Amino acid sequence: MTRRAVPLLIALWVVAPVAGAEDVEGARAAFRQGAALAQEGRWNDALAQFERSVAMRLHATTLYDLGFCERALGHATRAKKYFDRALARDASTAGAELSPELRAATERYLVEVTAKIATPRFVVTPPDATVSVDGRPLEPGEPGDRLLAGTRPPGPGEKLPTASAVVEIDAGPHEIVITAPDGRSRLLHVELATGASREVLLELPPLPRAPPLDVGAPRRTASFVVGGVGLLAIGFGTYFGLHARSLWGDAQSACPGSTACPTEDGYRLSSSAKADANASTILFTVGVTAVAGGALLYLTAPRAPSVHVGVGLGGVELRGEF
């Protein structure tokens, strides 16, 4: 903005028609302060005053000056937004708010800043994730299928209207944060050249798949328990069988050549041998049955689904989360 241009803009603004219950005097005062600061090259301070002015009364001239300040600060996308709004506002008032000279300047600067903007296509996965660029949510632009980056105040990311959208953004480096509804987040550093229109994939890895439910595990566990009990019974059965055999041998020694031993010691040995033999038979029967039952449980237990990792027609798929 030249020193000559600022007083001219004030004059045009002052004679513009007044409508409604707007704070016209407050808007004019803020506008004058912004113009004075702009003459000193204090662009951020001037920008704040022009924002105050346009909040109190919308005017194409103020929108132009907002764009001019953003242009001086190197914010091409923000400047384009205001230049577009200035021309649209002027058109809605039948050209009453911008002089031919100022309208021509607005159009010239609009072409200039547009040439400094990149227009990548953001593709978001998952589509319900929120996106922020340099700590700011995106803003709907014109035409309706475009979004603007860097034009809204700092704040959390927001979900895009569609999973794929063209974004107008200043050329240069940017930090993009994508966040899923479940809290998973990813930070991307993206460098965009002037006029770049490439596709930018904003992708979060999917949630890890839960391991398949092994419905046969309880049955296999039971098979080991039953089989273990069976082996233990066979072990005790073996012990009692060997002990019965030993006692029977002692009984035969005490009563050689006789099927019935009249002595008390021989009778005791014979009775103990028979009791141990019966216990051995029972334990062996229970043990063999239990081992067989355990084996049957194990063999008939359902198996967990197997997982295969390989390369398909679509290539290798990597899954993960951080």
User: 228: pLDDT confidence band, cut at 50, 70 and 90?
Assistant: confident
Quote the DSSP letter at residue 163. Answer: S
Higher pLDDT, 303 or 55: 55
What's residue 251's pLDDT?
65
Higher pLDDT, 276 or 146: 146
Are residues 304 and 212 in contact, defined by beta-carbon separation less than 8 angstroms?
yes
Q: Residue 315: beta bridge partners?
A: 312
Examine residue 143 and say whether the peptide bond preceding it is cis (omega within 30 degrees of 0): yes
Quote the DSSP letter at residue 12. Answer: H
Who contacts 13 (Cβ-Cβ below 8 Å, separation ≥6)?
Answer: 28, 31, 59, 61, 62
Who contacts 292 (Cβ-Cβ below 8 Å, separation ≥6)?
Answer: 230
What's residue 209's pLDDT?
75
Examine residue 218 and say whether the peptide bond preceding it is cis (omega within 30 degrees of 0): no
Amino acid at 22: E
User: 66: pLDDT confidence band, cut at 50, 70 and 90?
Assistant: very high
The two three-digit tokens of residue 153, written as one number: 């105040």
CB atoms within 10 A of CB 308: 5
The two three-digit tokens of residue 20, written as one number: 């409604």
pLDDT tens for 70-106 read: 999 999 999 999 999 999 999 999 999 999 999 999 9
d(CA 44, CA 70): 8
pLDDT tens for 169-200 read: 999 999 999 999 999 999 999 999 998 999 99
Who contacts 71 (Cβ-Cβ below 8 Å, separation ≥6)?
Answer: 79, 109, 112, 113
Question: What does R_g of the chain's alpha carbons equal in angstroms?
Answer: 44
What's residue 164's pLDDT?
92
pLDDT at 33 over 80: yes
CB atoms within 10 A of CB 302: 11
Percent of the chain's residues with pLDDT above 70: 77
Which of 161, 172, 166 is CA-nearest to residue 148?
Answer: 166
* pTM of this structure: 0.62
Helix, strand, coil % in the chain, rounded to nearest 5:
50, 15, 35
Higher pLDDT, 211 or 21: 211
Higher pLDDT, 263 or 41: 41
User: 322: pLDDT confidence band, cut at 50, 70 and 90?
Assistant: very low
**Would you call 18 exposed, middle or buried from its count of C-beta atoms within 10 A (0-12, 13-18, 19+)?**
exposed
> To 10 degrees, what angle do helices 5-14 and 100-114 make?
120
| Length of the chain, in residues | 322
Quote the DSSP letter at residue 16. Answer: S
User: 254: pLDDT confidence band, cut at 50, 70 and 90?
Assistant: low
The two three-digit tokens of residue 218, written as one number: 């309880």
pLDDT tens for 230-252 read: 788 788 768 766 776 776 666 66
Quote the DSSP letter at residue 20. Answer: T
Torsion 64-67-71-77 (CA) sign: negative
- HSE-CB for 169 with a 13 A CA cutoff: 29
Instruction: Please state the separation of Cα 206 from the chain's center in Å.
Output: 8
Higher pLDDT, 23 or 93: 93
